[in-house]
Amino acid sequence: MINNREAEQAMLGAILLEGHLIKDLSLQPTHFFDRSHQTIYEAMKTVSDNNGAVDIVAVATELGSEVGVVGGISYLTDLADSVPSTETIKHYQRMIFDAYRNRVTREHTMRYSESPTDQSLDELIKVLTDVRGIGVETTEKSTYEYLTEIANDMLSPTEAADKGCPVGFRDFDNMTGGGPQNGDLFIVAARPSMGKTAFALNIASGHCKNGGSADIFSLEMGTKQLLHRMISAEGNIDAQKWRTMFFSNEDYDKAINAIGEMTKWDFDIHEKATTVSDMRAIIRRSVIEKGRNNHLVVIDYLQLMSVLGKYERRDLEVGSITRELKLLARELDIPIILVSQLSRGVEQRQDKRPMMSDLRESGNIEQDADVISFLYRDDYYNPESESQNIVEVILKKQRNGPIGNVELAFIKEYGKFVDLDYRYSDQEVPSTCHNMKNENSSMANG
């Protein structure tokens, strides 16, 4: 149905009976199909906005000479007399919104069918995505309900604390309150070759090992390349061997065991989705249709993403991306890990550790992100550094937690991060890291 005239009449009649009800509505004049009804509702809103009592006399006065065009005083009277009760006014509103969404969907679908190009398809997808949420009301909890929930959280601290997605790095999980938190937009930023893609994949793998699920969006590498990396990290296999495909018998056994473990994980890799709209549809399907409750999303990486529509400046486009991702994280109550490049400003300073201003289009990212972390390897810039194969995870912003640094060992040949203090890890340690272990154990304990 694209025109529910009866619902529009019932809506207007209910407002004429009890004018104060208009303040509880989210309808706009354009949501009505009938032009006369649009005009009447607009007059009602004007009276209400001016703090007047919305009744037949006030609306007729506001309409002035247009009162005859919309049917006259008699039509207004008939509208009020035709409504038996105002209790179902929200039901009338819902039916009007349904008809409006159907009209908009039909109009743009027909327009696309007349000129089916890639650009018009993108525009259609954007319109359908936007119109889907029009008129959808969400019920918010009262303050009393929130206070009761907080009291219950204090009585059951174990359940209340289970809000994050632990990824298996002891110090990192501790500093972030149990891993990336539900509803958070979590930025992982670094210069090239710092290991940001590997770190993001390690986060997803660790979450899946703990019984969670994940969607991984790769805009830079194909699915097989990412799986090669994940197998190398899980099985402790030199990642360079995937180029030549020359594996020892030991490598083969490790790979088969790693693949066997990974088949138990609940994750999907997507290499075709490049826009927020594409990703939103996939993530919604994972959480809502597939029922993945303990879900995490990784996107690699921000600078390769695009949005529907045209923007005058790239920073406005980035702002649109991060804002939509943040809203999606809150709506579905999941953490979204967003990988980002840094500007070359880092290279111009003596101290190469990243700062907030090094984020490309930093203003929008700083505003929307809940957590901003940077990766820094001193041995990348200083080959003689004492901190060989150590990555600093620098938390520069954490909306609901502390900021500071966490140090992890980075096993580059495996693309694998592990806790720096190996005494608490049962993971296999490669020979290249044995020297590092003794040198840095005291620092890790401190």
User: Is the model's pLDDT at 363 over the cut of 80?
Assistant: no
- pLDDT at position 275 is 85
- pLDDT at position 238 is 92
Residue type, 263: T
304 near 272, Cβ under 8 Å?
no
- Where, residue-wise, is CATH 1.10.860.10 in the chain? 5-132
366 near 372, Cβ under 8 Å?
yes
User: Is the model's pLDDT at 444 over the cut of 80?
Assistant: no
- pLDDT at position 425 is 46
- pLDDT at position 163 is 67
How much of the chain exceeds pLDDT 70, in percent? 90
- pLDDT at position 137 is 63
- pLDDT at position 280 is 87
DSSP 139: P
Give the CA dihedral 250, 254, 255, 259, nearest 10 degrees.
160
Question: What residues does 404 pair with on adjacent strands?
Answer: 395
Q: Which CATH fold would you assign to the domain 163-445?
A: Rossmann fold (3.40.50)
Cα 157 to Cα 151, 154, 162, 335: the distances in Å are 10, 5, 9, 21
Report the pLDDT averaged over residues 361-380.
Answer: 86
User: Is the model's pLDDT at 265 over the cut of 90?
Assistant: yes
- pLDDT at position 362 is 60
Higher pLDDT, 115 or 202: 202
Lowest mean pLDDT among 48-62, 128-142, 205-219: 128-142
- pLDDT at position 71 is 92
- List the structure tokens of 200: 């993001």
- pLDDT at position 433 is 46
Report the pLDDT averaged over residues 202-210.
Answer: 94
362 near 339, Cβ under 8 Å?
no
Report the pLDDT averaged over residues 400-426.
Answer: 82
Instruction: Tell me if the domain spanning 5-132 has CATH number 1.10.10.10.
Output: no
- Where, residue-wise, is CATH 3.40.50.300 in the chain? 163-445
Considering 24-38, 158-172, 338-352, the range whose residues carry the highest mean pLDDT is 24-38
Report the pLDDT averaged over residues 321-344.
Answer: 91
Residue/partner pairs of 207-211 with CB below 8 Å, 24 or more apart: 207/165, 207/166, 207/167, 207/179, 207/296, 208/265, 208/266, 208/267, 209/168, 209/265, 210/165, 210/166, 210/167, 210/168, 211/294
What DSSP assignment string belongs to 101-117? Answer: HHHHHHHHHHHHHHS--
- pLDDT at position 440 is 43
Q: How confident is the model at residue 162 (pLDDT cuts 50, 70, 90)?
A: low
- Whole-number Å distance between alpha carbons of 263 and 160: 31
Lowest mean pLDDT among 64-68, 263-267, 301-305: 301-305
Q: How confident is the model at residue 409 (pLDDT cuts 50, 70, 90)?
A: very high
Mean pLDDT of the chain: 86
User: Is the model's pLDDT at 8 over the cut of 80?
Assistant: yes
DSSP 191: -
- pLDDT at position 165 is 86
- Whole-number Å distance between alpha carbons of 422 and 419: 6
- pLDDT at position 160 is 52
